[in-house]
Amino acid sequence: MTGRSPLLAGLTHPLNVLALGTSAMAGLVSAWWLFPVGLVVWLIMVLSVARDPSLRMSHEMRRREPLARRLQNRFDRLERSQVSIFNSLASAPPGVARALRPVQAEVKDVVDEAHALCRRMTALENYRLVTESRGDLEAEVHQLDSMIERSQDTITRQEYEESRRALTRRGEKLEAVSTQLDRVEAQLISLSNEMEGIMTEVVRLQAGGSEEAMQGVPALVERLRQERAELLTCHGDRAAPRAAEPIQQT
């Protein structure tokens, strides 16, 4: 379930529907030119709702694909940090919020990249769960060893040996998958801690005013870009992080 888009929410907002109906009625019973004027007012009202940052963010969060439980729990913590930073800046004075806007944009990029990574790893986690649910590979290998040792027929022995090699390869693949998942999980935990630290820093900068916020923004942006670069490069992604841009201090 993705929920309503911001545009659809704007079109179906009760006040906007009422404004459209009023415009149509005024054009029919009063003066024809009231309808196009009302239509312009209605369009402005729709766009104001559709461009609401909180509505857009909520819609983006609902659109994110569900992840494997192991990864979903880690990602949820990241998402909570993103929401906390968003809410904190939404209640900040305009000058401070404007100064910290680049931080909010970088946070979104990091969380989106983390979700993309978790989505890729979900397939591996599902493979690991299915493989482990089929039984103990080590016990199957030991059983085949016994069968190979007891076998007197050459062809039968070769079949058992091939089965053992296939099980061994499957075990090695499962071990590699488990190691990769452990590394991703460790990186997500580290990233969550970093995001919570950034949240604390954002609150501190808010308390210091717009001037202090502008001075602290470049360091926060650089930290977030480094985190995103690690997400992109540590797991074989060829995409490059967004090039560093100078922070406009206004």
Report the predicted TM-score, pTM, of the whole model to 2 decimal places: 0.69
Reply yes or no on whether the pLDDT at 222 is more than 90.
yes
Tell me: the pLDDT tens digits for 120-155?
999 999 888 887 766 676 777 777 778 878 888 888
Q: What's the pLDDT score for residue 248?
A: 46
Amino acid residing at 183: R
Where residue 135 falls (left for φ over 0; alpha for ψ -120 to 50; beta otherwise) is left
Within 13 Å of residue 206, how many CA atoms lie on the same side as its CB?
19
Mean pLDDT check: name the lowest of 92-101, 177-186, 224-233, 238-247. 238-247
Q: What's the pLDDT score for residue 72?
A: 94
Q: What's the pLDDT score for residue 239?
A: 40
Tell me: the pLDDT tens digits for 170-214?
888 888 888 999 999 999 999 999 999 999 999 889 888 888 888
The contacts of residue 27 (CB under 8 Å, 6+ apart) are 33, 34, 35, 36, 38
In percent, the amount of the chain with pLDDT more than 70 equals: 68
Within 13 Å of residue 187, how many CA atoms lie on the same side as its CB?
24
Token pair, residue 171, equals: 């075990």
Tell me: the pLDDT tens digits for 99-112?
998 998 999 999 99
